[in-house]
Amino acid sequence: MKKRGEKIVMLTAYDYPSARLVEEAGVPIILVGDSLGMVVLGYDSTIPVTMEEMLHHVKAVMRGTARAHVVADMPFMSYQAGPADALRNAGRLLKEGGAQSVKLEGGARVAEAVRLLVESGIPVMGHLGLTPQSVNQFGGYKVQGKTPAAAVRLLNDAMALQEAGAYAIVLESVPAQVAQAITEKLAIPTIGIGAGPHCDGQVQVFHDLLGLFSNFAPKHAKRYAEAGELIRNAVREYVEGVKEGNFPTEKESYLMDERVFNSATHLA
């Protein structure tokens, strides 16, 4: 797709129904992100997400897909301790979860782990820029690569991941010019989120795309629907319908033949 100049579309999904909807809409790559910690499980960051939680959601997404390539995030501390840990946990995401590849955060410092995974037959997607698992180190969710030195570090990290065998790299919250420069330098695709229009592809979070949360709208996300408000209105209508006796009606009820009912004298 990169060679053809065809933009790559990736979107998150976290369960069976969202995976089915995303695939049916034509998305070729589905990311089961550790962002599920925040948008599905209610954590305040991705850091508490466990391997067992990731496996649970990867399995659900796999049951909802037939064609899309499914990428599973490696959660915090599933690979940071070293390549052996990375191999064991990445193997679980493929063997037990059914994912076709894994994504991990970091550049040169994780290159050895990336190389081992790839040599072991596990495709790896990298992730640079604002890497959410390092939010405490960054001091918050801040744009990365804004100084010349920081931009050069990002490029060097991207080259290290490519050399280690990563097949693509997510660039998150990176100045558009920096993302463009990295994209032009790499032979492998870049997939941006808050990294401007010049990456080879884009990824967004399912809940941001659909406006499922009214209290959070990141700058990099475009709301293509206000599904949260649609759901709230539908539920309010249901509540009112039940309270006012307008639901269920005969249309939503199962009826017995009156003659059969009348023959049951103890009921009639």
Catalytic positions, written as ranges: 172
Helix (H, G, I), strand (E, B) or coil at 183: helix
Cβ atoms of 34 and 133 within 8 Å: the answer is yes
- 145 DSSP assignment: -
C-alpha span between 50 and 20 (Å, rounded): 24
Q: How long is the chain?
A: 268
Residue with tokens 């209610």: 42
Buried b (16+ CB within 10 A) or exposed e, 65-81: beebbbbbbbbbebbbe
Residue (of 222, 219, 177, 217) closest to 199 by Cα position: 177
How far, in Å, are 117, 164, 220 from residue 111 at the CA level?
10, 6, 28
Could you tell me the sign of the dihedral formed by the alpha carbons of 255, 259, 261, 262, in that order?
A: positive
Q: Is the peptide bond before 75 cis (omega within 30 degrees of 0)?
A: no
Residue (of 192, 183, 193) closest to 220 by Cα position: 193
